[in-house]
Amino acid sequence: MSRRLSSTPIPPLAAAALVGALALFAYGIVLRWRDPVRFLVWIREDGLAEWLTVVALAAAGARAFRTGASLRRIDGGSRGARLWFVLGAVLVFGALEEISYGQRIFGWETPEWFKVYNAQNETTLHNLEFGDFSVNKVIFGKLLAVFLVLYVLLLPFLAAWRPSFRAFLDRRRIPIVQPYQMIAWIVVLVVVRLALRKAPGDPERMAKVQELQEFMGSVFFYLAVRHPWNVKSILPSRTPTESLRDTP
């Protein structure tokens, strides 16, 4: 096992998704600095960035379900297949939360319970607040941030330097992020932190900048399930899943 951590060739679809997402992210950041008012219009609720976030999460969820189905055909009811089904459910849940389960599309009224406890008066779980406890800040903020640090920064290096740990992840079909994905995510986080410094005391604009980060996070999850570093171990060659490598 080589201890070198290097990316494998990027499939065309994954490369196009990454380049397009980075271009849109860069446009949003530049617009934020040059024309903050126009930026707020551009990144409005149900705007381009939000819908692309939904599309990326839904695509990632669909990919995870397809991988789980393929692994079930190979391994039967393996833990690896179940892991990918759970991952798919989590990603689809994220997509549904992003569009409030279609509430703004179909125009139904927010249930009374959500009116009381939802910070945005919508039918979503991630915006629930119970006194000083915010689900969004604690679970989708702090806990998710810790998970991403461990998963994006620590896991790939451990897998590269400890063959036994890499084998453990491979046996359980746990996807490992590619180095290019790691670098892209770090760049996004640094740029977002710099952009937030330019919006002190302006909660609305700070929140909208963070929505750009959410968009890039959704693309990152798509890339992580579409093109993991250990794809050949998760989906061995010469199996019915071979064609999955060239599909969304």
Look at residue 155 in the predicted model and tell me its pLDDT. Answer: 93
Fill in the DSSP letter of residue 118.
Answer: B
Look at residue 204 in the predicted model and tell me its pLDDT. Answer: 65
Domain that holds residue 226: 12-103+145-246
Output the pTM of the full model.
0.87
Q: Report which secondary-structure segment, H or E, holds 56.
A: helix 48-75
Please report whether residue 213 resides in a domain.
Answer: yes
CB–CB of 204/40 below 8 Å?
yes
Look at residue 243 in the predicted model and tell me its pLDDT. Answer: 42
pLDDT at residue 19 tops 90: yes
User: How far is the first Cα of the chain from the last one, in angstroms, to the nearest whole number?
Assistant: 30
CB–CB of 178/229 below 8 Å?
yes
- What is the arithmetic mean of pLDDT over 60-81? 88
Please report whether residue 126 resides in a domain.
Answer: no
Please report whether residue 114 resides in a domain.
Answer: no
Please report whether residue 120 resides in a domain.
Answer: no
Structural domain total, the chain = 1
Least confident of 3-12, 136-145, 166-175, 236-245: 236-245
SS3 4: coil
Residue type at 26? A
CB–CB of 95/57 below 8 Å?
yes
- What is the arithmetic mean of pLDDT over 193-215? 75
Please report whether residue 204 resides in a domain.
Answer: yes
pLDDT interval class at 67 (50, 70, 90)? very high
Please report whether residue 135 resides in a domain.
Answer: no
pLDDT interval class at 231 (50, 70, 90)? confident
What is d(CA 81, CA 73) in angstroms, rounded to the nearest whole number? Answer: 9
Burial class (CB in 10 A: 0-12, 13-18, 19+), 179: middle
pLDDT at residue 201 tops 70: no
Please report whether residue 71 resides in a domain.
Answer: yes
What is the average pLDDT score of the chain?
Answer: 86
And the tokens for 23?
Answer: 């271009």
- Nearest 5 degrees, angle CA 177-CA 182-CA 184? 130
What is d(CA 181, CA 186) in angstroms, rounded to the nearest whole number? Answer: 9
CA 19 from centre of chain: 16
Look at residue 240 in the predicted model and tell me its pLDDT. Answer: 40
Please report whether residue 138 resides in a domain.
Answer: no
Tens digits of residue pLDDT in 85-122:
999 999 999 999 999 998 888 888 999 999 899 988 89
pLDDT at residue 164 tops 90: yes
